[in-house]
Structure 1
Amino acid sequence: MPCNCKVEMNGIPHPHNGCEFHLRKENTEHNGHHHPHRKTFDNDDRYEEEDCVAGDETVRYPDGSVRLRNPNIELMDQDILYHLALGSGSHDLVEMFGDVKFVCMGGTPKRMEQFAYNIMAEIGHKLPCGTTLQDISQFSYRYSMYKVGPVLSISHGMGIPSVGILLHEVIKLMYHAKVHDPVFFRIGTCGGIGYEGGTVIISDDAVDGALRNVFELLVLGKSIQRPAKFDKRLVRELKGLADPEDPYDTVTGKTMCTYDFYEGQGRLDGAFCDFTEADKMEYLENIYKAGVVNIEMESLAFAALTHQAGIKAAVVCVTLLDRLKGDQVNHDNQRC
């Protein structure tokens, strides 16, 4: 399958503050400036100094490459990444993806195609003459994947099951491609809790509908709970990118991840509803008091699986509406 992964890297900025997230905005981490109208959490004492990647020495090789926590993969003749239309035997994954540093995931194929073009302009990457961006996973008919230099832009679909399947295969892709120290991002949309549409929210924690900081999965009929942790240093560095001149607020806080868009998020407008508006408002106000600033449907699995793999990760979303003021999202909201 053709791939546009041979690139000139000269256009990539140097690492910022020791983080491998190449930032174009230098020296913007607060510098003592605060936007007078910006709603933000500035209490960095909440952050532990650990980088929140579990047991680096046990889940990554000394050179920073991904170590799979599954002995079965080594025994296989080839590993078929079915939902990506790739395979360790059918493709030279090191040649195609060995230079990847950042994996950016979002909900829809169109959104991630647009993101790929935006990143191309941002880092000054130029495709070889006569070529164009290609959806590497187009023949899977499930996810889309674009490669722009060291950046992968991948659609993850909607909800925990979809993003979970993708993460399993992308983590294995990083392993087979011998990628060193990859950083994963989810960029998407969400419903704000006390925050208007257009607010950028960086998740510093992911919790379920009962405010538990774990991802629960039934494996062979038994409940397995995996801690859902983000890399705290990466969260701080992303927060430091907020510019007082930005036409939107940037906040950090807990993200609630649900298994459903309607009842699971306390919406009154689904096909079924067995609670009152008063019940809904009491619940939303309680989670707001507990530090929840937004609701979506992927962050819990995203945090847990990347943490389990020893991969630095963060979630950045834009709010489409304030759930304390309503339930319905219209097409105008989606364009923000």
Structure 2
Amino acid sequence: MASTVTEREDLENHHKDCLVRLCNPHVATMKEDVLYHFNLSTGTHNFPEMFGDVKFVCVGGTPSRMQSFIRYLALELGIQHPGDDYPNLCEGTDRYAMFKVGPVLSVSHGMGIPSIAIMLHELIKLLYHARCSGVTLIRIGTSGGIGLEPGSVVITQQAVDACFKPEFELKVLGKRVVRSTGLDEQLVRELAQCSLELSEFPIVVGNTMCTLDFYEGQGRLDGALCSYTEKEKQEYLQEAYQVGIRNIEMESLVFAAMCRACGLRAAVVCVTLLDRLKGDQISSPHEVLNEYQQRPQRLVAHFIKKCLGSAALS
């Protein structure tokens, strides 16, 4: 037991001291790096001053969701001040939005792999230029559940593609490049422990399937195109359930792959808006969906608050 604890402490200390790295030697030779989609540049902004203290980055689909998260987190951390409106640090572009409170950055990423991939390239470079260390990235979002009641929160054990493989495929210069989509196992355990401490809503650990499409790619019957039967859809979703998949979304593959490649500790926490075994369309009232969307935020805020409390004590 003692050796296990020591190994865990060594990993944690390594993470705290580890600077964000890039897998691109060309960036170090650039006189100026323009993060176009953030409307930020190393030539016009002091990244270490603005972002050097960042330890946690939470990303999610929409600007409004990520702004509401930063407001909630500020309240939870006790660093909210009257009149604070938490301005968008990417002001001047409507592509992404970024908000900050203390050592936490909250960034929108849009919908789908291409959108979040662009954001991640620039976000990871931002953290690199700011000389951040010991950073944890968490995607908080919505998803379709498989065999779960709506409102259940899934902590992703492993991100897999539509063929249930834990890999992300990309064409680079016309060649097929495959990257692993493994997520940080220790971080999954830490989030699972936080879920036990909250006990406010159903939380499970399971695999997450990431698709390139919301309709045919996820086996829906209600799109403009559909070439399969209800029976075939059910067989596919049942097979997914049997291999441990508990939800479906559209970003986790590239999120896991890019974070892993750059040595960043990362996790995915999503709420389910429906059980895909029982239907394809989201029909819950707006106020119910809004409460569901806050559940990953509450879990992750609890985790961050716990981590910062532990850091203050150490």
TM-score if structure 1 supplies the norm length? 0.80
1:311 aligns with 2:237: no
Report runs of 4+ in structure 1 exceeding 6 Å deviation.
none
Q: How does 1:40-79 map to 2 (within 5 A)?
A: 63-79=17-33
**5+ residue gaps in structure 2?**
293-314
CA deviations over 1:165-200 (Å, ceiling 9, x no partner)? 111111000000000110000000000000011101
The answer on whether the counterparts of 1:52 and 1:307 sit within 8 Å (CA) in structure 2 is: no
1:72 positional shift: 0.8
1:68 positional shift: 1.4
- Which residue number corresponds to residue 148 of structure 1? 101
The one-letter amino acid of 1:126's match is Q
User: 1:130/1:287 Cα in 2 relative to 1: closer, same or farther (>3 Å)?
Assistant: closer
The one-letter amino acid of 1:239's match is A
- Which residue number corresponds to residue 120 of structure 1? 74
SS of the residue aligned with 1:233? helix
- Which residue number corresponds to residue 99 of structure 1? 53
Q: How does 1:234-245 map to 2 (within 5 A)?
A: 234-243=187-196
CA deviations over 1:271-298 (Å, ceiling 9, x no partner)? 1000010110010001101111100000
1:81 aligns with 2:69: no
The one-letter amino acid of 2:67's match is E
TM-score if structure 2 supplies the norm length? 0.85
- Which residue number corresponds to residue 334 of structure 1? 289
Report % sequence identity. Answer: 52
SS of the residue aligned with 1:224? strand
- Cα distance in 1, alignment partners of residues 11 and 256 from structure 2: 10
More helix by share: 2
The one-letter amino acid of 1:198's match is G
CA deviations over 1:220-253 (Å, ceiling 9, x no partner)? 0001000001000000000001237624211001
The one-letter amino acid of 1:150's match is P
1:295 aligns with 2:245: no
Higher relative contact order (CA 8 A, sep 6+): 1
**5+ residue gaps in structure 1?**
1-17, 19-48
CA deviations over 1:254-311 (Å, ceiling 9, x no partner)? 1000000000000000010000101100100011011111000000011000000000
1:329 positional shift: 1.2
- Which residue number corresponds to residue 3 of structure 1? none
Match of 2:201 among 240, 248, 255: 248
The one-letter amino acid of 1:317's match is C
- Which residue number corresponds to residue 219 of structure 2? 266
- Which residue number corresponds to residue 46 of structure 1? none
SS of the residue aligned with 1:74? helix
The one-letter amino acid of 2:269's match is V
- Cα distance in 1, alignment partners of residues 111 and 265 from structure 2: 22
Match of 1:185 among 138, 149, 156: 138
- Cα distance in 2, alignment partners of residues 213 and 148 from structure 1: 34
User: 1:297/1:130 Cα in 2 relative to 1: closer, same or farther (>3 Å)?
Assistant: closer
User: 1:331/1:76 Cα in 2 relative to 1: closer, same or farther (>3 Å)?
Assistant: farther
The one-letter amino acid of 1:282's match is E
The one-letter amino acid of 2:158's match is D
- Cα distance in 1, alignment partners of residues 128 and 222 from structure 2: 43
CA deviations over 1:44-65 (Å, ceiling 9, x no partner)? xxxxx9x999xx99xx9x9411
- Which residue number corresponds to residue 296 of structure 2? none
- Cα distance in 1, alignment partners of residues 18 and 198 from structure 2: 37
The one-letter amino acid of 2:196's match is D
SS of the residue aligned with 1:140? coil
SS of the residue aligned with 1:269? coil
The total of aligned residue pairs comes to 282
User: 1:244/1:152 Cα in 2 relative to 1: closer, same or farther (>3 Å)?
Assistant: closer
- Cα distance in 2, alignment partners of residues 141 and 260 from structure 1: 23
CA root-mean-square deviation: 2.2
1:196 aligns with 2:149: yes
1:132 aligns with 2:85: yes
- Cα distance in 1, alignment partners of residues 150 and 254 from structure 2: 24
